[in-house]
Amino acid sequence: MISSSAAGPGGAAAPAAAPQLPTSPAAAAPPPALGSLRQRLAAAFQQSLDAAFPSMAGEPAIVNPCNNPKFGDYQCNNAMGLHGKLKGQPDAPKNPRAVAEALVAHLPETGMVAETSLAGPGFINIRISPDWLASHLTTMLRQGISTWAPAGYAGRRVVVDFSSPNVAKEMHVGHLRSTIIGDTLAHTLEFCGADVLRLNHIGDWGTQFGMLIQYIAEKRPEGLNAASDEDVQDLQVLYRAAKQRFDEEEAFKQRAREAVTELQGGRPEYLQACAWQRICDASRREFQKIYDRLGVQLQERGESFYNPMLKPVVDDLMQRGIAEESDGAKCVFVEGAQIPLIVQKSDGGFGYASTDMAAVKHRIETEKADWIIYVTDMGQSSHFDLVGGGGRGHGGGGGGGDGKKFRSRSGDVVRLVELLDEAKQRIVDTVKERRPDATPEEIEEMAAAMGYGAVKYADLKNHRTTNYKFSYDDMLSQQGNTAVYQLYAHARIASIVRKSGRDVSELAKTARVVLGHEKEVALALQIARFSDAVDECLAELLPHRITEYLYDLSTAFNQFYTECQVVGSPEEDSRLLLCEATALTMRTCFQLLGIQVLYRI
């Protein structure tokens, strides 16, 4: 589930480094982002709409990719809606087609549009100028791909809450989707100039701590003061033993619950004996091994961070009438919800809801967030709907959905480390077969990049609200829409540039892209649509928009390369620049997806 609110990360061998944003050849300090291709077209049609129909000034221009490339590249769809709103006004157009004709007549000269045509009752088909595309790509290669970032995100303060495992529990495959979707959204926002705070809201203050601390205290005759690192050396064994007692012994369960309340209240022996800290530190080390493999960077801010804020937040909610007392508990009743959000229990204790409400308040009032994005599991959707409803008093809200957990044949949730190990190991033989001359270090780097990248891509390419069939064979395939295929495609392009013997960074300073062949034009248009994909990803919080775009880009390049000779052709300079523009755009997509780039495979 992704919930979006508008508001007033060492132990793996050769861990994959966090991918770095690529730069273009000869790129200096980049000028400000000029917006996506679709945004630029929409701005031109906005000027046309405002000039042609002053009474409708401010009515947003609607421009989308054309459904059938045979008719155009983009389409303006305002005519029918405007016609309905203009009815009854003096000199109102007789029909939608007349509205479309007026929009075309008032379209400012931008150099972008080669031609327009009308279709149906009033659709305006738009063909992008090849000369403009050539100039657009040439400028990008000289100034940097950051100039293609869509407008509207630069300077916004965005909190992205993702991953969020529970202390004392091992990260499993269920944490993968939240971690990589959150990382992709954060990368994409950062690319667009947003000020992003990547938060890992770990569960370090909940019921499991009362259970674990009580178990350690009763296990040792000397009590908690004798607790040591040995007690938490294997957290999974410790957790299972404590959980068994918690489930089977009602008296132990009650003592564990009392221990939670006392821990949250600051009971000295629980904190001073460092049982809580030892457990947190042991978990943190294991989490970091996973984050290092995935190349994910996060700032930890667990539930315990908000503990001093809980009572003031509840008091504030009560004073403002957002919360009220019910059966001794303090609750927020959200319209349309069957159960309330309990922000303080009848015994005076606090739970997840209290912490999440405090987090909302802190992120809005202290972090000054303009936008808060939560990336979490579908199973928590009802909880976050309630938090969103209660948080509207602080400026929160949101909703979303996600798929089911991936489980092993035994029904257990698969450990994430096992999934990553298996994916990496399966690709080793492929790497050795293709690169028999590769050193062990090179094999390790390629296997890690392709294995971990394949795991990420296999999830990211799906709509975040749908389930998908997990298959190692499918996700590691060298054909189709997979990370392995995309990495091979990029390496092939890098090889073409290498074999030319040319310094493309120097070439970009003087040579220009020239588009003559239809496959050159099609490739250039697909490259230029990168910014549209980025905008769609953020507008809908759908990372698969990036993977779809990347696959379409690879396909367009293959079609170009099949029909257009590069090295040794009269058009070599321009076509080398087209190759470099493709590779640069692919590298940027990999960076957004958190996938390590390979130049040789």
* Predicted confidence (pLDDT) per residue in 272-299, tens digit: 556 788 888 888 988 999 999 999 999 9
Express each pLDDT in 383-392 by its tens digit.
566 666 555 5
pLDDT, average across residues 456-475: 79
Torsion angle, CA of 570/572/577/582, rounded to 10 degrees? 110
Q: Are 179 and 172 in contact (CB under 8 A)?
A: no
Q: CB under 8 Å to 61, separation ≥6 — which residues?
A: 42, 43, 45, 46, 48, 49, 76, 78
Look at residues 111, 131, 151 and tell me which one is the last residue of a structural domain: 131
pLDDT at 157 over 70: yes
pLDDT, average across residues 2-25: 40
| DSSP annotation string for 318-384 | HHTTSSEEETTEEEE--TT-SS-EEEE-TTS---HHHHHHHHHHHHHHTS--SEEEEE--GGGHHHH
Q: pLDDT > 70: what percent of the chain?
A: 84
More confident residue, 248 or 15: 248
| Angle between helix 572-593 and 518-528 (nearest 10) | 30
Q: CB under 8 Å to 240, separation ≥6 — which residues?
A: none
For residue 128, the cross-strand partners are 113
CA atoms within 13 A on the CB side of 468: 18
Q: Are 9 and 297 in contact (CB under 8 A)?
A: yes
The band of 212, judged by pLDDT with boundaries at 50, 70 and 90, is: confident
Residue 545 phi/psi, 5-degree rounding, is -65, -35
Express each pLDDT in 338-350 by its tens digit.
888 889 988 888 8
pLDDT, average across residues 582-593: 98
More confident residue, 582 or 267: 582
The band of 100, judged by pLDDT with boundaries at 50, 70 and 90, is: very high
CA atoms within 13 A on the CB side of 82: 34
Torsion angle, CA of 287/292/297/301, rounded to 10 degrees? 20
pLDDT given at position 270: 67
Report the 10 Å Cβ neighbour count for 381.
16
Q: Is residue 461 part of a domain?
A: yes
The band of 216, judged by pLDDT with boundaries at 50, 70 and 90, is: confident
Express each pLDDT in 471-513 by its tens digit.
777 878 888 899 999 999 999 999 999 999 999 999 999 999 9
Q: Are 203 and 164 in contact (CB under 8 A)?
A: yes
Q: Is residue 173 part of a domain?
A: no
Q: Tell me what the pLDDT averaged over the chain comes to.
A: 85
Range of the domain at 580: 416-593
Q: Are 543 and 460 in contact (CB under 8 A)?
A: yes
Express each pLDDT in 73-99 by its tens digit.
999 999 999 999 999 888 899 999 999
Q: Is residue 562 part of a domain?
A: yes
The band of 3, judged by pLDDT with boundaries at 50, 70 and 90, is: low
Q: Is residue 499 part of a domain?
A: yes
pLDDT given at position 29: 41
pLDDT given at position 392: 52
Element (H, E) at 159: strand 157-161
pLDDT given at position 521: 98
SS3 450: helix
Q: What is the pTM of this model?
A: 0.87
Task: Write the CATH number for 54.
Answer: 3.30.1360.70
Q: Is residue 48 part of a domain?
A: yes
In eight-state DSSP terms, residue 16 is P
CA 535 to CA 399: how far, in whole Å? Answer: 20
Token output for 90: 């003096």
CA distances from 126 to 34, 41, 438, 486 (A): 20, 9, 49, 30
Look at residues 131, 153, 173 and tell me which one is the last residue of a structural domain: 131
Q: Is residue 318 part of a domain?
A: no
SS3 22: coil
CA 596 to CA 404: how far, in whole Å? Answer: 27
Written in H, E and C, the secondary structure of 222-272 is CCHHHCCHHHHCCHHHHHHHHHHHHHHCHHHHHHHHHHHHHHHCCCHHHHH
Token output for 528: 């230029």
Q: Which of the residue ranges 336-345, 526-535, 588-597 would you say has the lowest mean pLDDT?
A: 336-345
SS3 166: strand
Written in H, E and C, the secondary structure of 495-558 is HHHHHHCCCHHHHHHHCCCCCCCHHHHHHHHHHHCHHHHHHHHHHHCCCHHHHHHHHHHHHHHH
133-153 residues labelled b (16+ CB within 10 A) or e (exposed):
bbebbbbbbbbbbbbbbbbbb
The band of 545, judged by pLDDT with boundaries at 50, 70 and 90, is: very high
Residue 30 phi/psi, 5-degree rounding, is -70, 140
Q: Is residue 411 part of a domain?
A: no
pLDDT at 468 over 70: no
pLDDT, average across residues 166-183: 88
pLDDT, average across residues 16-42: 56
Look at residues 131, 156, 182 and tell me which one is the last residue of a structural domain: 131
CA atoms within 13 A on the CB side of 415: 10
Q: CB under 8 Å to 516, separation ≥6 — which residues?
A: 571
pLDDT given at position 19: 37
pLDDT, average across residues 324-335: 90
561 Cα distance to chain centroid: 31
Query: Rounded to the nearest 5 degrees, what angle is found at the Cα of 556, between the Cα atoms of 553 and 560?
Result: 135
Count up the domains in the chain and report the number.
2
Element (H, E) at 84: helix 79-86
More confident residue, 109 or 416: 109
Task: Write the CATH number for 518.
Answer: 1.10.730.10
CA 485 to CA 374: how far, in whole Å? Answer: 31
More confident residue, 472 or 318: 318
pLDDT at 224 over 70: no
pLDDT at 27 over 50: no
Q: Is residue 545 part of a domain?
A: yes
Written in H, E and C, the secondary structure of 375-441 is ECCHHHHHHHHHHHHHHCCCCCCCCCCCCCCCECCCCCECEHHHHHHHHHHHHHHHHHHHCCCCCHH
CA 93 to CA 80: how far, in whole Å? Answer: 11
In eight-state DSSP terms, residue 306 is G
CA 129 to CA 126: how far, in whole Å? Answer: 9
Express each pLDDT in 353-401 by its tens digit.
889 989 999 999 999 999 999 998 755 655 566 666 555 544 443 334 3
pLDDT given at position 210: 84
Q: Are 18 and 186 in contact (CB under 8 A)?
A: no
Element (H, E) at 113: strand 113-119
pLDDT given at position 549: 97
pLDDT at 301 over 70: yes
